[in-house]
Amino acid sequence: MDSDGDGIGDLNGITSKLEYLKELGVTAAWLSPIFKSPMVDFGYDISDFFDIQPEYGTLEDFRNLIKKANELELKIILDFVPNHSSDENEWFKKSVKREKGYQDYYVWHDGKVNASTGVREPPTNWLQYFRGSAWEWNEERQQYYLHQFAVQQPDLNYRNPDVVAQMKRVLRYWLNEGVSGFRCDALPPLFEVLPDAEGQYPDEVVSGATDDADDRDYLTTTYIENQPETVDMVYQWRTVLDDHKRIYGGNSSVLLIETYSPAWFTMQFYGNRSVNGAHLPFNFNLITVMEKSGLSASNVQEAIDLWLQNMPAGRTANWVLGNHDKRRAASRYGAEFIDAMNMLVMILPGASVTYQGEELGMTDGWISWEDTVDPWGCNSNADIYEQYTRDPERTPFQWTNGTNAGFSTGETTWLPLAADYETINVATESAADHSHLTIYKSLIALRRSSKTLQNGSTKYAVLSDDVFVIKRSLSGANSIFYVCNFGSASITVDLSEFDKTLPSDLVLLIRSMDSIKSEGAGYASKELELAVGEALVLSSE
Ligand code: GLC
Ligand code: MG
C-alpha cells in the first residue's frame, strides 16, 4: 500500500493496512528488504543495512509500524540479506580503495592471464543468477570481484571474521528495534569453495540442463553453492537470536531460511540433536515439484513426502505456495486450483506461508519489455525476458476495483496493475458471500480453533489417480479431511478405501469457489462426487 502517492508501497501504507492482516487471522508478516538501496534488485542490494530506504519511509515510520503491530499482536519479520551488499555500500567503496580493515570484505581475485592471447580473464567460468559471468573487473582496485547476483551486488566474504561479526551486528540492531525475526535471503551462495594452494578456484562443469551459456543452469554449482560452512553460519545466527532473548528478555524470534537446495542440504538448517538451527527452512516443494512436472495428485503427494520423510524428528514443517520470485500461485497452478492449494497449506501440519495476494487468487500481471524493471529480465532481451523477469508476480496489491486498485493515489504505479483487479480485490471479495478471500479466512479460523489441525496426526493418499486426500486426527476430537480432484474430469470416490473408520456421512466445513455443495450439509463418504478442481474440507462430526 502506497501512502504518499509516489506509486511505490511504503511503511506508512503497510501500517495503515495491518488491520487487514489481523482480520485475515495471520500472525506474522515478513517484509521484503526496506533498507537503504539503489534499488537495482528492489532492495536486495543494500547500501546501508542500518537505515531505511527513503521512498519507504524513515526509522520513525518503522517504529510506528512495530508499535501498531504490537498493539494488534502481529509479529514483523525482516528480510536479512547476508550474501551481498550494494556496490554503493561504504564497505564496498572502502574495499575498492583497500582501506585498512576492509581489504578482504569482499571476494577479490587477480584473475588469470590467458596463455595464448595474453589477455586477462576472470578467475573462473562461474555464472551469476541474473545471467552472465559472476566476476566483474574493478578498474580502480585492478582486481575482479565475485557477484553471484547482479554486478551491483558484490558478494561479502564470509571467510573474513570481520564480515561475520558485522552481519551479526545487523541482526542485533533490528532485534533491538523490536522485530520478531528474519527471513534469511539467498543462503546457497553464502560460501564458495576454498581456493587451492596457489589461490585458484576450480571451474564448474557444463551441466547439460540448458544450451544458453549465460543462464546459471548452464554450469553445475558444486563449488559455489551449498557449502557446509553455510549451515554453520545459520547455527551462529540462531545463537545470536537466543542470546539476545536471554540478555534482554521478550519473546523468542524466528529464523526462516530461503534455500532452493536438495533435501540433504536444506534439512541441515533445522539443526540436529546437539545444535539448534533455523526454525523453518522454507519448504518450496509445492512450487518446485510442480515446476518440473505439473500439478497432479501424485505430485502433491511427492512434494509432501519429500518434506515430511526428510525432516529431522521434533521439528516443525512448513508449506509455501509462492513468493516474489515465482509466478503467482493462481497463474502457476491454474486459477481453478487456488482454493485447493490454499486449503492444502492450511490443513497440512506445521506453519503455512502466504505470499500477499494468494488469499485473493491474484494472478500475474503482463509487463511489456519497455516496462520491465527486474534485473533478471533486463539482463536478457526483448525476445526471452518473459522467461526470466519476476515483475509479473510483483504488480501492486489489489485493494479495490477503483483507480490503481486502491493501491496508490498517484498518477502511475511502480509496475502496471494486473488485468483482473476489477474482480480480484479485497473490497469485492470481502463483500461476496463466497470468494477466495472468504475461503481463506475460514481456513485460518479453522486452524486457529481446531486442536486436530494444531496437534493431530497426519495421513494422506492418492485415490483413483486424481484425488488427493488428507486426514488429520486427534484422539478425543473430530477428524478433519481434505479432498481435492486434481484431474480433468469429475469423479466419484469412496473415501473408505483410504480410511476404514470413517462415519458414513462427513460434514462439509469449507468448499472451493465453484463447488455447488452446501456448508453444514452431510455428504456420503463412500460416494463423494467431485467436480474438476473441487476441493473440500470435511469433518467427521
Ligand atoms: C533472493 C530474493 C530475490 C533476490 C535474491 C538476491 O532469492 O528472494 O528476490 O533477487 O535473493 O538477493
Ligand atoms: Mg509511497
Could you report the per-residue pLDDT of 371-410, keeping only the tens digit for each?
A: 999 999 999 999 999 999 999 999 999 999 999 999 999 9
* Residue 506 and residue 523 in contact, taking contact as beta carbons nearer than 8 Å: yes
Ligand nearest the Cα of residue 2 is 2
> Closest ligand 1 atom, CA of 324?
9
pLDDT computed for residue 420 by the predictor: 96
Q: How far is the CA of 424 from the centre of ligand 2 (A)?
A: 22
Looking at every residue in the chain, the average pLDDT score rounds to 97
Q: How far is the CA of 93 from the centre of ligand 2 (A)?
A: 29
pLDDT computed for residue 251 by the predictor: 86
Closest CA to 481 of 504, 453, 455, 454: 453
CB within 8 Å of 280: residues ≥ 6 apart? 254, 255, 256, 257, 316, 318, 351
Sole residue written with cell 542440504:
265
Closest residue to atom 11 of ligand 1, CA basis? 186
- What φ, ψ does residue 493 adopt, rounded to 5°? -115, 155
The best mutation among 41, 288, 373 to test binding of ligand 1, ranked by most ligand atoms within 8 Å of the C-beta, falls on 41
Ligand nearest the Cα of residue 46 is 1
Could you report the per-residue pLDDT of 144-172, keeping only the tens digit for each?
A: 999 999 999 999 999 999 999 999 999 99
Could you report the per-residue pLDDT of 89-134, keeping only the tens digit for each?
A: 999 999 999 999 999 999 999 999 999 999 999 999 999 999 999 9
- Strands annotated E in 131-290: 135-138, 143-146, 181-184, 254-257, 280-281
The best mutation among 77, 86, 149 to test binding of ligand 1, ranked by most ligand atoms within 8 Å of the C-beta, falls on 149
Cell of 247: 540478555
> What integer is the mean pLDDT of 294-315?
97
Q: Residue 265 is inside which H or E element, if any?
A: helix 263-266
* Residue 158 and residue 191 in contact, taking contact as beta carbons nearer than 8 Å: yes
Ligand nearest the Cα of residue 11 is 2
Ligand nearest the Cα of residue 16 is 2
Q: How far is the CA of 120 from the centre of ligand 1 (A)?
A: 31
Q: How far is the CA of 8 from the centre of ligand 2 (A)?
A: 4
| Beta bridge partners of residue 254, listed in sequence order | 181
C-alpha dihedral over 222, 141, 130, 164, to 10 degrees?
60
pLDDT computed for residue 37 by the predictor: 98
pLDDT at 185 over 90: yes
Closest CA to 24 of 308, 414, 440, 360: 440
pLDDT computed for residue 154 by the predictor: 99
Which residues lie at CB < 5 A from ion ligand 2? 2, 4, 6, 8, 10
> Closest ligand 1 atom, CA of 325?
9
- Topology of the domain comprising 457-539: Immunoglobulin-like (2.60.40)
Q: How far is the CA of 397 from the centre of ligand 1 (A)?
A: 20
Q: How far is the CA of 535 from the centre of ligand 1 (A)?
A: 33
Number of other CB atoms surrounding residue 312 within 10 Å? 12
> Closest ligand 1 atom, CA of 323?
8
pTM: 0.97
> Closest ligand 1 atom, CA of 83?
12
Give the whole-angstrom CA distance, residue 166 versus residue 67.
Answer: 27
Closest residue to atom 6 of ligand 1, CA basis? 44
* Residue 285 and residue 318 in contact, taking contact as beta carbons nearer than 8 Å: no
The best mutation among 49, 325, 390 to test binding of ligand 1, ranked by most ligand atoms within 8 Å of the C-beta, falls on 325
Could you report the per-residue pLDDT of 345-376, keeping only the tens digit for each?
A: 999 999 999 999 999 999 999 999 999 999 99
Give the whole-angstrom CA distance, residue 397 versus residue 431.
Answer: 18
Residues in contact with ligand 1 by the CB-under-6-Å rule are 41, 44, 81, 149, 185-186, 258, 324-325
Q: How far is the CA of 44 from the centre of ligand 1 (A)?
A: 6
pLDDT at 525 over 90: yes
Closest residue to atom 3 of ligand 1, CA basis? 325
Secondary structure (DSSP) of 115-171: TTT--EE-SS--B-TTSSBSEEEETTTTEEEE-SS-TTSPBB-TTSHHHHHHHHHHH
Q: Greatest CA separation found in the chain? A: 81
Closest CA to 511 of 501, 525, 523, 526: 523
Give me the percent of the chain exceeding a pLDDT of 70.
Answer: 100
Closest CA to 164 of 43, 78, 83: 83
Which sequence positions are flagged as catalytic? Answer: 185, 258
pLDDT at 474 over 90: yes
157 to 5, 85, 147: CA distances (angstroms): 39, 11, 11
**At 462, is the secondary structure helix, strand, or coil?**
strand
Q: How far is the CA of 43 from the centre of ligand 1 (A)?
A: 9
Could you report the per-residue pLDDT of 428-454, keeping only the tens digit for each?
A: 999 999 999 999 999 999 999 999 999
The best mutation among 44, 129, 326 to test binding of ligand 1, ranked by most ligand atoms within 8 Å of the C-beta, falls on 44
Closest CA to 240 of 434, 73, 82: 82
> Closest ligand 1 atom, CA of 375?
10
DSSP 73: T
The pairing of beta strand 480-485 with beta strand 491-493: unpaired
Closest CA to 150 of 352, 434, 454, 390: 390
> What integer is the mean pLDDT of 449-471?
98
> What integer is the mean pLDDT of 29-38?
98
**At 502, is the secondary structure helix, strand, or coil?**
coil
Closest residue to atom 12 of ligand 1, CA basis? 44
Ligand nearest the Cα of residue 56 is 2
Q: How far is the CA of 45 from the centre of ligand 2 (A)?
A: 19
The pairing of beta strand 522-524 with beta strand 28-31: unpaired
Closest CA to 103 of 153, 64, 52, 159: 159
Split at pLDDT 50, 70, 90, the class of 333 is very high
> Closest ligand 1 atom, CA of 44?
12
> Closest ligand 1 atom, CA of 41?
10
Number of other CB atoms surrounding residue 205 within 10 Å? 11
Burial annotation 80-110 (CB, 10 A radius, 16+ → b, else e) = bbbbbbbbbbebbeebbeeeeebeebbbbbe
Give the whole-angstrom CA distance, residue 528 versus residue 483.
Answer: 10
